[in-house]
Structure 1
Amino acid sequence: MILSRSFSLITALVMLSLTVTDVHAQTAVTEGTMLEELGLTQEQKQDIAGIQQKYSQDLAQGHQELHSAYEELRQMMIGMESEAAIRDKHQEIGIMRQHVADLRLETMLELREVLTPDQRQELADLMEERRENWSRRARNGPPLLFP
């Protein structure tokens, strides 16, 4: 049970860091429902916004570079590139992925410091509930508008 709770908290922090650092869309985490459900103070909201601002550009750039590198690798696989060149590109992508993962970890660690232990648990519970809902929807398909 403790391991499950720890995993849920880690998962929740990862999801929070991913959504807080998403520069292409304002999510429920940064404006609205999740913040309201966690009962964040104004200071916590400001701290989270600062964390978002601190990491969002680097994460967005990292994701864009990864996207481009994957496209290059795809073209290399289609084309006549040598195995060595393809392996080098694959290794480069691995390094880029690790860099993005490191940025996410730093984001999570900073977010963790902003939340109280009770808020961390609440976040873990909320994320677990949402993950279950997503899984259920994936198994059952989208809801019917007119049954």
Structure 2
Amino acid sequence: MKFRAVYLLAALPLLLPIGNGLTVATESLFPSYAIAQETTEKPNKEEFRKRRREQFRQQLNLSPDQVSEIDQIREQNKQDKQAKREALRAAKDKIQTLMASDASDDELRAQHRILQDLRRDMGEARFETKLKIRQVLTPEQRTKMAELKKQRRGRWGRRHGRRHHGPENSQAK
């Protein structure tokens, strides 16, 4: 006798109660699994960043003076960064509007240049902040920071299914 999809569909309602029983059994055997299932809230990005920043500081063994100096550098750049981010968002919205309208190619190119300039400015500001922070660190801390960042990049790439295309892999391209 041939197996047919009709038989499977007929048996499906009989299997559904078993599925609920497995969930209850799983919860009783693995309580942490049940807790993880109940927790649908995502952690706050800011809390995550603070926690990661604190881990970084401990791993680099920063002195209290270094910590306060780095915090001061970040705080100085915070308002400028926010203003640039808002300008970038507005420029993105404008180019989307222009793309949907009957704007000329020249208008689109001009808006695209504005967008590129804003991105470049943000990148330059980020780099300048890194240079200022670098000046606060000792040579040993700089080396340690580079190692930690390299490890983090490697983990991120594996986690997201990407390969690291650093200097060691540049010939494989």
Q: Which residue of the partner structure matches residue 74 of structure 2? A: 52
Larger relative contact order (C-alpha < 8 A, sep ≥ 6)? Answer: 1
Could you list the runs of 4 or more consecutive aligned residues of structure 1 that deviate by over 4 angstroms after TM superposition? none
Unaligned runs of 5+ in 1: 1-23, 141-147
**Is 2:83 aligned against 1:73?**
no
**Mapping for residues 26-41 of structure 1, pairs under 5 Å:** 27=49, 28-30=51-53, 32-41=54-63
Counterpart-to-counterpart distance in 2, 1:48 and 1:63: 21
Matched AA of 2:46: A
Letter in 1 for 2:152: R
**Residue 15 of structure 1: aligned partner:** none
Q: Give the deviation of 1:25 after TM superposition.
A: 2.5
Aligned residue among 120, 139, 154 for 1:98? 120
- 1:121 corresponds to which letter in structure 2? T
1:55–1:29 distance in 2 versus 1, CA, 3 Å: farther
Q: TM-score with structure 1 length normalisation?
A: 0.73
Residues in 1 aligned to 2:138 and 2:56: alpha-carbon distance in whole angstroms? 15
Confirm or deny that 1:83 pairs with 2:105. yes
Superposed CA offset, 1:98-147 (max 9, x none): 2212211210110110011111111111111111111111129xxxxxxx
- Distance in structure 1 (CA, Å) of the matches to 2:136 and 2:109: 41
Measure the CA separation in 2 of the matches of 1:29 and 1:55: 19
Q: How many residues align?
A: 116
Establish whether residue 25 from structure 1 lines up as the match of residue 41 from structure 2: no
**TM-score normalized with structure 2 length:** 0.63
> For each residue in 1:4-56, what CA deviation from the matched residue of structure 2 results, as whole angstroms up to 9, or x when unmatched?
xxxxxxxxxxxxxxxxxxxx7252454x2111001000000000000011101
Whichever residue aligns with residue 161 of structure 2, its letter is R
Equivalent residue number for residue 63 of structure 1: 85
